[in-house]
Amino acid sequence: MFYFNYYKNLAKTCVKIMTKKDTLKQESAPFLDIGIFDPTIGTANLGDLIIYEAVIKELRTHFPNDLFSNYPSQLATNYEAKKIMGQKDYLFVSGTNLLTSNMDERNQWKLDPFHKFFIKNKVLLMGVGWWQYQSKPNEYTKKLYKTIFNKKHLHSVRDSYTFNKLQEIGITNVVNTSCPTLWELDPELCARIPKQKAANVITTLTYYKADAELDRRMLEILTDKYETVYLWVQGLEDITYMHKIFPKSAQIKLISPTINAYNKILEDPSIDYLGTRLHAGVRALQKGVRTLIVAVDNRAVEIGKDTNLNVIKRENIEQMFDFIDFPYETAIALPMANINRWRDSLPKTKSLNSK
């Protein structure tokens, strides 16, 4: 009986939406009703929290008085959640590499076919990337994206690869803005980042993108070249993985899996960052820490190509010595023209329109 009633109500709501018989919200409300696809709900990846903090800070500068509500991007949503999302004026997707070429098979972003009925033309991308290197999006994915993505305003993606994937399927109201976590890394901040090696280093591992030989080599180099090596734990499995691959793991000091703990260690003026987690590296840059990111997949590589983010591929791990032993000047190249185009295209608040 539960499932019968559930699907009956779902069908009724879909009919109301398609026939426009359901006035889902008060059109006279003086503020926008904005939804956020939030990657931090239900995830243990603290990098998603770093992304979300940058996204919400930026959005609040544009919509200081409007209503925000959050919905999971990486957990499935039921009928009630879909119905509520359908009441929003806009739904912003807050970063991460959620887009894929085969949403019917690989959907880190938990969308199903019913979402098309509820959130048609409501979704706005903000600094979103592509899951991995893939072929052209299939027909299911193309129709899904073209149905739910807003057609009036610009979408923000975080690298040229993602920009080109959307262009392939005819979604052209897109600009490459890089990741919102980078937007505050202006020349003044970059100039304050030390050029010379620090005494200590904080690192990260990525247990779900493991390469025991190369990750072990990274830890060997760090323990040899730095006085103290810290590991910021982004997932508890990182600890198990470190003990498995590195016999001298007792030499490495653990930093607890919280943003506050990580922020505190980054305040140490005698520390570098060198590790495999992309947004741990970006947070280090935000805090003025000399940084090298070891790329384990397409994300850091593609952002690095566009922004001069300091990235090496893990298979080139010996290039770490160039960063450690020689001066390095941080010079992030932000696509400010595209960032400002995206900002200018954002929906205007109702309160502003009424003035």
Q: Map residue 296 onto helix, strand or coil.
A: coil
Together in a domain, 16 and 161:
yes
Average pLDDT, integer, range 253-261: 97
Bridge partners of 71? 37
Going by C-alpha positions, the residue among 243, 158, 200, 209 that lies closest to residue 315 is 209
Together in a domain, 298 and 317:
yes
Going by C-alpha positions, the residue among 78, 112, 108 that lies closest to residue 93 is 108
Q: Which residues have CB under 8 Å from 26's CB, separation 6+?
A: none
pLDDT category at 354 given cuts 50, 70, 90 is very low
Bridge partners of 68? 34
Domain that holds residue 60: 2-181+337-353
Domain count, the chain: 2
pLDDT at res. 43: 85
- Residue 330 falls inside a structural domain: no
pLDDT at res. 13: 60
Together in a domain, 150 and 127:
yes
Largest CA distance in the chain: 69
Together in a domain, 59 and 163:
yes
Together in a domain, 87 and 191:
no
| CATH number for position 52 | 3.40.50
Together in a domain, 170 and 202:
no
Together in a domain, 98 and 224:
no
- Residue 90 falls inside a structural domain: yes
Quick one: what percent of the chain has pLDDT higher than 90?
Answer: 86
What is the 3-state secondary structure of 231-256?
EECCCCHHHHHHHHHCCCHHHEEEEC
pLDDT at res. 107: 85
- Residue 161 falls inside a structural domain: yes
**Residue-wise pLDDT tens digits, 192-214:** 999 999 999 999 999 999 999 99
Together in a domain, 89 and 160:
yes
- Residue 23 falls inside a structural domain: yes
| CATH number for position 195 | 3.40.50.2000
For the chain, strand residue ranges (E) read 33-38, 67-72, 90-94, 123-126, 155-157, 174-176, 200-203, 228-232, 252-255, 271-275, 291-295, 311-313
Contact 312, 284 (CB under 8 A): no
Least confident of 4-8, 29-33, 119-123, 297-301: 4-8
Q: Which residues have CB under 8 Å from 31's CB, separation 6+?
A: 65, 66, 67, 349, 350, 351
**Residue-wise pLDDT tens digits, 332-352:** 999 999 999 999 999 987 655
pLDDT at res. 355: 42
Together in a domain, 284 and 152:
no
Residue whose tokens read 């904005």: 34
d(C-alpha 235, C-alpha 240), whole Å: 10
d(C-alpha 143, C-alpha 138), whole Å: 9
